[in-house]
Structure 1
């Protein structure tokens, strides 16, 4: 694999060759229909070194940066969006570990070592009704005499639910003398913790079904003292873990939905090249209205890959955008998901009535792309962040 410091272009097909993508694409429909987790996809990704993409070569990883992983996630999402979204959550934590290490903070080295060893990390941040996201938590983090923490609360949208081995999460410590503190840590999944970490079998959704992002109930789940990586005040915070999570999360989410848009555009192009008008005898690729619509889709899609490349590379090479970072990152995620939905909508129109059938790939992409609006930053949060960046905070 190519090092992120190497100046020759990175080729995502070196990690995800066409034959592998085609296997993912064939399985995706079945996992969507059956509402099952893609264990076979995960096995193939593990064999391809995907779990350790961000780990440095000296640890046995691929040594890639966010710019290269963004390209890989765009490519994977063209074949199996739900698989890409699921593995995103593992890549978020490993990407955060790399981003912190690049900035001189080695507290998450064990995450990179664990990824090389085969650990699967899940993202336990989302909570129902918690629009504070990284700045607050309804999960109780109770300090223990030995420095460990016991977590009690409910996490939602826990992707990789059937397979994760380590759950990265946060909770609020309200009892320590220096509290309140947001506590970031990792808890393992083990037989001993079976009663303290309960995964509900409740994932029955419109789209992104193969992610199996089930609800996780924490009932005194214990994180050992050596896995408590951050204790920071609640609310907006300049701590590098906040920037690390926000930046990697937003870039990789935007990458997945940009990949969905690319696949929808490709399918639309293929379809109009074979559909033929009874009226003119010509393929629909010669129809001026269809050509305009395809061009409009391409114009929208073409804007996103360069933005992702620039922002992810800026994170890799430690460019300092200061307070603008949050508006740039929430903005690119928002643009990616709105663009992707518009492109899929148009692909459905140009492909015709066959795309309305559940077995159609475009039908599945249509359902999958809807999930984008629910991930942070949601449209309201993105607009608020960007408005503050340009206009300042609301007076009062």
Structure 2
């Protein structure tokens, strides 16, 4: 039987979420009601196996759902993405027999909200390094001190998945991936005042000895490029779900452009704008660009679900998917604004918000430079030593 996204995101729920989106954008607030309704609908545990109380969906199905949610409220979808990344990594682990993230699956079923604390200002190593200090506590746990940026779900998360660098243990240096709870050792700044994606409330998070107990230490690995399951898990799920969000945004922009072209009439000719050859060319360009992405997302997500082995090609495929989705969404939003005309320039217009939201895509890993560098190495080999 074909997967029905409306079973998990029914039309009436999406309509309520869509109605609230401009309010959160205008007021720069977190969409708490969206989260509450999604939690009540079991959305936080869609990637948790059925035997642990979740919906038992695969990454391919979750990607479809995130496209659907992004059509209604881009910022809500992007915020929820970060929680789904961790439940997706937990699925990658359990599917491959890797222990360590069962507590994430169980927590998601209980309604826990997991945030993503990897990004650091000026750290272009991303998963391969950290400026956050990870100090052993002596009982198997770690204490983390440092600053994380772009922490989506900042007002509401209950556990923060992060990484830090252990420089003092006998086998140091080691990158430590772990989860900390929200305590007085964690400070969330009220600094999220951005051009777009305002509802994500991806605020700066400061850690001052935030402690992760031994049971919440997920991996200790060598810094730098690493085939460890934590690196593959984060990179694959993050890139695929991110591509899904921006592809969903593009679909909404395309639909709005089509609606506008059909409803507006030319004073000069009296004909619908849908009959104007220039408008038709723009809409066709948008459709051609958009149509390429959903099948690519589905194919790569299915490969993760079925444990396909692309070897070192994985990183080119995944970073390329994210790059193409963001580039496509930006192109579609640009064209949609032109099709809709000057009315789309007003901030109250949904296309105006979409136009601002898609700009955030360029700042997520992998950025355009990293994606191109990865692809160049895959096709041409590494750079010669200087």
Report the TM range for the smaller structure's normalisation. Answer: over 0.9
Match of 1:150 in 2: 143
Match of 2:343 in 1: 354
Distance 1:107 1:187 in 2: 15
Distance 2:53 2:142 in 1: 31
1:27 aligns with 2:16: no
Question: Secondary structure in 1 aligned to 2:366?
Answer: coil
Deviations 1:280-329 (A, max 9, x none): 10110000110011001000000000000000000000000000000000
Match of 1:263 in 2: 252
Distance 1:15 1:212 in 2: 24
Q: CA deviation at 1:265?
A: 0.1
1:379 aligns with 2:372: no
Pick one of 85, 108, 127 that aligns with 2:78: 85
Question: Secondary structure in 2 aligned to 1:273?
Answer: helix
Segments of 5+ residues of structure 1 without an aligned counterpart are 1-7
Distance 2:364 2:21 in 1: 21
Q: CA deviation at 1:186?
A: 0.2
Q: CA deviation at 1:23?
A: 0.8
Question: Secondary structure in 1 aligned to 2:149?
Answer: strand
Match of 1:336 in 2: 325
Deviations 1:206-229 (A, max 9, x none): 000000000000000000011111
The 5 Å alignment of 1:265-304 reads: 265-304=254-293
Pick one of 88, 91, 114 that aligns with 1:121: 114
Question: Secondary structure in 1 aligned to 2:88?
Answer: helix
Pick one of 133, 144, 151 that aligns with 2:126: 133
> Which runs of 4 or more aligned residues in structure 1 lie more than 2 Å from their structure 2 counterparts after TM superposition?
none
Distance 1:24 1:374 in 2: 25
Distance 2:10 2:47 in 1: 19
Question: Secondary structure in 2 aligned to 1:220?
Answer: strand
Match of 2:195 in 1: 206
Deviations 1:33-68 (A, max 9, x none): 000000000011011111001111111100000000
Distance 2:117 2:198 in 1: 18
Calculate the TM-score normalised by the size of structure 1. 0.97
The 5 Å alignment of 1:1-396 reads: 8-189=1-182, 193-194=183-184, 196-396=185-385
Segments of 5+ residues of structure 2 without an aligned counterpart are none
Distance 1:182 1:170 in 2: 7
Distance 1:114 1:352 in 2: 47
Question: Secondary structure in 1 aligned to 2:224?
Answer: coil
Count residues with an aligned counterpart. Answer: 385
Distance 1:326 1:158 in 2: 24
Distance 2:112 2:34 in 1: 16
Q: CA deviation at 1:106?
A: 2.1
Calculate the TM-score normalised by the size of structure 2. 0.99
Distance 1:259 1:119 in 2: 26
Question: Secondary structure in 2 aligned to 1:185?
Answer: strand
Distance 1:17 1:198 in 2: 36
Cα RMSD for the two superposed structures: 0.5
Question: Secondary structure in 2 aligned to 1:36?
Answer: coil
Match of 1:5 in 2: none
Distance 1:293 1:234 in 2: 46
Distance 1:183 1:67 in 2: 29
Deviations 1:220-255 (A, max 9, x none): 000001111100000000101100000000000000
